[in-house]
Structure 1
């Protein structure tokens, strides 16, 4: 599948309190959708979702990396971005620092709460289709 890119004029979504919904597939092939904080690695053109090891979405993408991600502009609900893609990498590297960074953007706090029970994992998502 060809890669798609996040359009430049939508990069601002990753600078505000934009919530995304991430759809993954369970082992039974059923859709599982959760609201998440969303980030973007502009240099690598990858969407970033930070989760905790063992959560349903993390378990799902281990068996099937296909995902759908949809987000609406918090300032204009009719402006949205929808991505179909694949989790290319699950990494714990920098994930703890990354969740604190997101907590500063979304909650205006220095450190993510609640206490992390296992470890944080970043899902690095390659966009294959962008709507």
Structure 2
């Protein structure tokens, strides 16, 4: 298992967008931009999404993912992670999306209205560039 380098932790304090790649049931790549977070204590990347979205359905069939992000202040500084979604959980997901909305949008509550329920994809980094 790899670890997120200390000198990259600041990427998770900024409005850094990541692209997460998953595989569809047909084995085709699916890549979407996402808000990204990091659980430093557990060394896990966190992606908050809504139940039933394509990426959530994909990782239930194949937990392998690729995540790439570029520093919004320096496009030549990046972090790329290959890993596995260890858990898909609703625990704390609603509060987490509000926390992300504060960082990314400067608002107290996430909008638009949630249609199903929020889930957090907890990603274990296996390879880090």
Q: TM-score range by the shorter chain?
A: over 0.9
Instruction: From 73, 96, 100, give the equivalent of 2:98.
Output: 100
Within the alignment, does 1:16 sit opposite 2:14 as a pair? Answer: yes
Q: What TM-score does the superposition give when structure 2 sets the normalisation length?
A: 1.00
Q: After TM superposition, give the deviation of residue 101 of structure 1 in Å.
A: 0.0
Q: Which aligned segments of 4 or more residues in structure 1 are displaced greater than 4 angstroms?
A: none
Q: After TM superposition, give the deviation of residue 129 of structure 1 in Å.
A: 0.1
Cα RMSD (Å) of the superposition? 0.2
Query: Partners of 1:43 and 1:8 in 2: how far apart?
Result: 12
Query: Partners of 2:115 and 2:82 in 1: how far apart?
Result: 30
Q: Which runs of 5+ in 2 are unaligned?
A: none
Instruction: From 73, 77, 80, give the equivalent of 1:75.
Output: 73
Which residue number corresponds to residue 124 of structure 1? 122
SS of residue paired to 1:49 = strand
Which residue number corresponds to residue 47 of structure 1? 45
CA deviation map 1:53-103 (0-9, x unaligned): 000000000000000000000000000000000000000000000000000
Equivalenced residues, count: 129
Q: Which runs of 5+ in 1 are unaligned?
A: none
Q: What TM-score does the superposition give when structure 1 sets the normalisation length?
A: 0.98
